[in-house]
Amino acid sequence: MSSPQASLTGTRVEKLAIDATSYRTVLALLAVGFSLLLLSVAALPIEASIAAVFLFAGPHNWIEARLLLDRMPSRWGKHRLYYTISLLGSVSLAAVAVVIALSSQGYLGGFTVPYFTMSCWHTTLIAWVVGLILLRSHEQPTRDWKAAIPIGLLIAAGAWLWPAYFSLTLVYLHPLAAWAFAYPEIARKHPKWLGAYWQSVCAVAVSVLVLLVFPVGHLMSAPPAGEVVNQIVQRAGASLIPAVGGRTLVAVHVYLELLHYIIWLVAMPALALRTPVWNLSSVPLARTSWGRKAIPAVLLTGIFIVLVLWIAFFLNYSVTRELYFTLAIMHVLAEIPFLIRRVT
């Protein structure tokens, strides 16, 4: 007759076996998912880019807004200076970026922005980020982030020397921000998953290297000429890195963007949201007197914008895509203050 202790030990062994099996299953699914994603963007990068932006651009922005609202305190208190600079900086930088983009595309008539203005914008962006890091360090006296100053100066020097390449670097870094948002959530709630997280990061790096080492641009026939194709190829940096090949760069960019969308639409709601996306009880601002009506109205407006965006993509994909990526800088800048608070 088995003792209670033996039964308990047997239960623990069974639980460990189940955990190990689940862990292997997760890794296997991740491997299969990465492989399928890699094959899809390698075979049809242009088509994958069009489908990804059409389907996921609007919804992922809405999920981001919902999560950032969940992280915004109703009373700023001692964080007032941090959030004030965050708000003013993101709005101002976004407004200037939109003017620069519209000017470069000829939408402002005869008004043109001098070329060096982009380097000035880059410098202001870097100074804003460094300032937020230092403010965050002041809120957390045990953490010294003064090294951000020389690092920021070094990056600013590079932005002045190679402004076009700096802008392209931001294009490829933005999809990786989703991984940075996911990391603290996993570390805090599911530390046992960190191994799978880092293995996923390594898998992404290997996949990008595979796409670059085996140029997919030479495996498929050239895509038909057109404004949409030109937008996609130029955004991926074909004119700046001609040695790699436009279709290869598009494949790499689409791969990173698809992972970005998957993390925001699937992983982040499960990891970071304290309530379902339609439940606003966890949003601090929604519990204030003015927020009870304002926050639901903002989110409903966001859903309406997503629907309008889908219709606009269907009616004129080229113009809508250009407009979307011009205005998307707003949500990219809005992520930065919250990302700094999560990772520092």
Arithmetic mean of pLDDT, 31-38: 66
pLDDT digits (tens, 9 = 90+) for 124-164: 999 999 999 988 888 776 677 888 899 999 999 998 888 88
DSSP per-residue string spanning 153-207 = HHHHHHHHHSHHHHHHHHHHHGGGHHHHHHHHHHHHH-GGGHHHHHHHHHHHHHH
pLDDT digits (tens, 9 = 90+) for 271-284: 877 777 777 777 77
Global pTM reads 0.80
pLDDT digits (tens, 9 = 90+) for 70-111: 888 777 778 888 889 998 999 899 888 888 877 776 666 655
Q: Which residue has the tokens 């020097």?
A: 157
Q: CA 126, CA 166: separation in Å to the nearest integer?
A: 11
Percent of the chain, pLDDT > 90? 8
**Of 38, 40, 49, 41, the residue nearest 231 (C-alpha):** 49
Is 43 a residue whose pLDDT tops 60? yes
Identify the residue with better confidence: 330 or 6. Answer: 330
Per-residue pLDDT at 13? 41
Q: Which amino acid is at 3?
A: S
Among 8-17, 20-29, 221-230, 234-243, the range of highest mean pLDDT: 234-243
Per-residue pLDDT at 221? 46
Per-residue pLDDT at 8? 42
Per-residue pLDDT at 14? 43
Q: Which residue has the tokens 């010294």?
A: 144
Percent of the chain, pLDDT > 70? 81
Is 1 a residue whose pLDDT tops 70? no
Per-residue pLDDT at 108? 63
- Spatial neighbors of 10 by CB under 8 A, at least 6 apart, are 2
Per-residue pLDDT at 6? 44
Q: Quick one: pLDDT band at residue 18, thresholds 50, 70, 90?
A: very low
Per-residue pLDDT at 10? 47
The count of C-alpha atoms lying within 13 angstroms of the C-alpha of 79, restricted to the half-sphere facing its C-beta, is 17
Is 17 a residue whose pLDDT tops 50? no
Pair 133, 148: CB distance under 8 Å: yes
Pair 149, 124: CB distance under 8 Å: no
Is 337 a residue whose pLDDT tops 80? yes
Supply 328's token pair.
């998307």
When the pLDDT of each residue in the chain is averaged and rounded to a whole number, the result is: 78
pLDDT digits (tens, 9 = 90+) for 184-242: 888 888 888 888 888 888 888 888 888 787 755 555 545 556 777 888 888 888 888 88
Supply 287's token pair.
């519990």
Dihedral sign for Cα atoms in the order 303, 319, 250, 343: negative
Per-residue pLDDT at 225? 60
**Of 102, 87, 65, 62, the residue nearest 326 (C-alpha):** 102
DSSP class of residue 286? G
Per-residue pLDDT at 15? 44
Q: Which residue has the tokens 């992280």?
A: 71
Other beta carbons within 10 Å of 113 = 17
Other beta carbons within 10 Å of 290 = 9
Per-residue pLDDT at 7? 46
DSSP class of residue 93? H
> CA–CA distance from 231 to each of 21, 207, 249 (Å)?
45, 24, 13
**Of 205, 218, 264, 309, the residue nearest 65 (C-alpha):** 264
Burial profile 262-289: b = 16 or more Cβ within 10 angstroms, e = fewer: bbbbebbeebbbeeeeeebeebebbeee
Per-residue pLDDT at 275? 74
